[in-house]
């Protein structure tokens, strides 16, 4: 085929076709336009303020690597005045996270950003390797998800940072919309489409500046800028690769590339229809233990890259949680029309007083937060050898608790708790 000229500069040879509008662009124009669009997303939503300290949730994967590269570029180009740093979670998975953390460490040098790593081992006394040794591969993602939510918050708090950006892209958001549509979970659908997730009570907000960026373009951006990123599936969720919702999105994109942004738009429009205070009865569907709306860059199975098996696991998880969470947190939608009529059967949620977990001090409406509950289960079943070293269960628990108390922070976010509770990967 004869070379095609760039749609933008009409000179250089086009090397990419944009999924959203089929424009054919050369390398330079593509990079520039990609960056400009992220800039427009940022300015259009007043995402940052000058002088703001922002932590980039960095996994070493393509999305967070591109996010870091683009934010550095834009920060310098448009003088955002941001103080950027990288925040990584070390789940403690040998052969996976240790490799990707090496990538993040290189990124820290390449982008001249300080890097903070918070580990499950130090926070919880359990690495994911140890968790899997104990609970097996099935269901381990639940632990990882719950732990990660707190870990990112704690990492940010440790740095005194109140804004964490994650690498969620348009495909992720579209997938979240589809999954929640299929589950009939409008509150979560609504939340997942928002660029900023926080609440009045929240101390640390999260946002996704790449929300409108196609995964395809993110990968091409990384390729054409030769960014250094890491891509391997988590060894504990190999099935994530075949995620059914992901497959659906990719199949739709193949047929009609604009589908992805169209789904995002549809999701936003639906979100606008969701009443501000909606709670659902019955199965507590809004508490589905899934982190696809708010996973952090870091796990192959995040963002609802769920297989059918994960969906099933999610359902099971949901049922298990039901009892525990029946007194539990409300879902407050941070924005949206307040005067909407509530749907039939919906009810206004009663406000609950957010307290702190008795064990670790983390924000929770329950006496014991989800992470501590999971830790209880783990510690109770700790291999005999470990217990025999004169460590009774109580002691062991308190030692973990002590460790976590050292991490005690002033996190006071209903939203945070909710997500924490929701987190499932």
Partner 1 sequence: MADSAAGGEASILITVEFTGGLEMLFSNERKHPIVLPPRLDDGSRPNITYLLQHLVEHVMRDQRKALFIMEDNVRPGILVLINDTDWELEGEEKYELQQGDNIVFVSTLHGG
Based on the shown chain and the rule CB under 8 A, indicate whether residue 16 belongs to the binding site for partner 1: yes
- Residue closer to partner 1 by CB (options 256, 347) is 256
- Residue closer to partner 1 by CB (options 171, 203) is 171
* Of the residues 216, 359, 404, 418, which one makes contact with partner 1 according to CB under 8 A: 216
Instruction: Give one DSSP letter per residue of 53-93, joined into a string.
Output: EEEEE--SSHHHHHHHHHHHHHHHHTT---EEEEEEEE---
* Of the residues 29, 39, 48, 59, which one makes contact with partner 1 according to CB under 8 A: 59
Given the rule CB under 8 A, which of 229-237, 380-388, 394-402, 409-417 is the region that contacts partner 1? 229-237
Instruction: For the CB of residue 181, give the shortest distance to partner 1 in the complex, in Å.
Output: 20
Which pairs count as long-range contacts for 342-346, CB under 8 Å and 24+ apart, including other chains?
A: 342/275, 342/278, 343/275, 343/278, 345/281, 346/275, 346/278, 346/279, 346/280
Phi and psi at 118, nearest 5°, equal -110, 130
- Residue closer to partner 1 by CB (options 219, 324) is 219
Q: How far apart are CA 222 and CA 90, in angstroms?
A: 23
* Of the residues 231, 381, 399, 405, which one makes contact with partner 1 according to CB under 8 A: 231
Instruction: For the CB of residue 204, give the shortest distance to partner 1 in the complex, in Å.
Output: 21
Token pair in block for residue 312? 């099933």
Q: How far apart are CA 331 and CA 351, in angstroms?
A: 9
Q: How far apart are CA 424 and CA 37, in angstroms?
A: 31
* Of the residues 291, 297, 304, 361, which one makes contact with partner 1 according to CB under 8 A: 297
Instruction: Sort strands 16-17 and 24-25 into parallel, antiparallel or unpaired.
Output: antiparallel
- Residue closer to partner 1 by CB (options 254, 384) is 254
Radius of gyration of the chain (CA): 21
Instruction: For the CB of residue 62, give the shortest distance to partner 1 in the complex, in Å.
Output: 5
Given the rule CB under 8 A, which of 62-70, 197-205, 258-266, 412-420 is the region that contacts partner 1? 62-70
Beta strand extents in 182-276 (DSSP E only): 196-197, 205-207
DSSP 276: S
Helix (H) or strand (E) holding 43: helix 27-44
* Of the residues 5, 12, 23, 24, which one makes contact with partner 1 according to CB under 8 A: 24
- Residue closer to partner 1 by CB (options 302, 400) is 302
- Residue closer to partner 1 by CB (options 169, 176) is 169
* Of the residues 37, 45, 239, 241, which one makes contact with partner 1 according to CB under 8 A: 241
- Residue closer to partner 1 by CB (options 25, 113) is 25
CB environment 402-418: b (16+ within 10 A), e (fewer): eebeebebebbbbbbbb
- Residue closer to partner 1 by CB (options 356, 424) is 424
Instruction: For the CB of residue 220, give the shortest distance to partner 1 in the complex, in Å.
Output: 7
Based on the shown chain and the rule CB under 8 A, indicate whether residue 225 belongs to the binding site for partner 1: no
Token pair in block for residue 24? 């054919």
Tell me the angle at which helices 259-273 and 186-193 cross, rounded to the nearest 10 degrees: 120
Residues 252-271 that bind partner 1 (CB under 8 A): 253-254
Q: What is the largest CA-CA distance in the chain?
A: 76
Instruction: Give one DSSP letter per residue of 312-362, joined into a string.
Output: HHHHHHHHHHHHHHTT-PPP--SSS-SSPPPPTT-BPPPP---EE-TTT--
Based on the shown chain and the rule CB under 8 A, indicate whether residue 62 belongs to the binding site for partner 1: yes
x/- string (CB under 8 A) for partner 1, residues 157-196? ----------x-x-x-------------------------
* Of the residues 154, 183, 305, 418, which one makes contact with partner 1 according to CB under 8 A: 305
Given the rule CB under 8 A, which of 102-110, 149-157, 227-235, 416-424 is the region that contacts partner 1? 227-235
* Of the residues 251, 269, 358, 395, which one makes contact with partner 1 according to CB under 8 A: 251
Q: How far apart are CA 206 and CA 17, in angstroms?
A: 31
Based on the shown chain and the rule CB under 8 A, indicate whether residue 232 belongs to the binding site for partner 1: yes
What torsion, rounded to 10 degrees, do the Cα atoms 303, 309, 314, 320 define?
-160
Based on the shown chain and the rule CB under 8 A, indicate whether residue 1 belongs to the binding site for partner 1: yes
* Of the residues 290, 299, 416, 417, which one makes contact with partner 1 according to CB under 8 A: 299
Give residues in contact with partner 1 (CB under 8 A). Answer: 1, 4, 13-17, 24, 27, 59, 61-64, 167, 169, 171, 215-216, 218-220, 223-224, 231-234, 240-242, 246-247, 250-251, 253-254, 297-303, 305
């Amino acid at each position: 085929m004869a070379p095609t000229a760039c749609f933008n500069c009409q000179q250089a040879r086009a090397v990419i076709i944009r999924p959203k509008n089929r424009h054919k662009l050369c390398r330079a124009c593509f990079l520039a336009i990609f960056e400009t669009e992220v800039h427009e997303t940022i300015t259009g939503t007043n995402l940052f303020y000058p002088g703001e300290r922002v932590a980039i949730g960095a996994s070493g994967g393509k999305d967070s690597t591109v996010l870091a590269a683009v934010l550095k570029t834009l920060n310098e180009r448009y003088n955002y005045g941001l103080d950027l740093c990288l925040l990584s979670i070390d789940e403690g998975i040998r052969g996976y996270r240790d490799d990707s953390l090496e990538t993040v460490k290189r990124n820290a040098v390449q982008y001249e950003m300080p890097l903070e790593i918070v580990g499950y081992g130090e926070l919880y006394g359990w690495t994911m390797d140890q968790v899997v040794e104990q609970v097996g591969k099935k269901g381990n993602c639940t632990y990882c998800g719950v732990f990660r939510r707190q870990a990112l918050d704690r990492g940010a708090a440790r740095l005194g940072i109140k804004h964490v950006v994650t690498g969620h892209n348009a495909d992720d958001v579209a997938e979240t919309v589809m999954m929640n549509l299929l589950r009939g979970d409008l509150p979560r659908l609504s939340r997942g489409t928002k660029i900023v997730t926080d609440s009045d009570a929240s101390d640390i907000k999260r946002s996704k500046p790449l929300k409108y960026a196609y995964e395809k373009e993110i990968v091409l951006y990384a390729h054409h800028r030769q960014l250094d990123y890491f891509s391997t599936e988590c060894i504990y969720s190999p099935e994530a690769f075949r995620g059914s919702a992901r497959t659906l999105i990719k199949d739709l994109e193949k047929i009609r590339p604009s589908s992805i942004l169209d789904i995002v738009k549809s999701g936003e429009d639906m979100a606008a229809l969701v009443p501000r205070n909606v709670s659902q009865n019955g199965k507590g569907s809004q508490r589905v233990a899934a982190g696809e709306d708010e996973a952090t860059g870091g796990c192959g199975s995040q963002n609802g890259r769920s297989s059918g098996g994960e969906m099933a696991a999610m359902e099971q998880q949901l049922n298990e949680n039901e009892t525990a969470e029946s007194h539990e947190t409300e879902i407050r939608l941070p924005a949206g029309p307040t005067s909407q009529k509530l749907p039939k059967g919906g009810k206004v949620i009663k406000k609950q007083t957010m307290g702190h977990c008795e064990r670790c001090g983390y924000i929770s409406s329950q006496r014991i937060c989800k992470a501590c509950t999971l830790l209880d289960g783990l510690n109770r079943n700790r291999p005999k050898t470990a217990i025999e070293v004169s460590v009774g269960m109580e002691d062991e628990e308190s030692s973990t608790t002590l460790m976590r108390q050292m991490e005690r922070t002033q996190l006071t976010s209903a939203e945070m708790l909710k997500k924490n509770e929701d987190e499932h990967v």
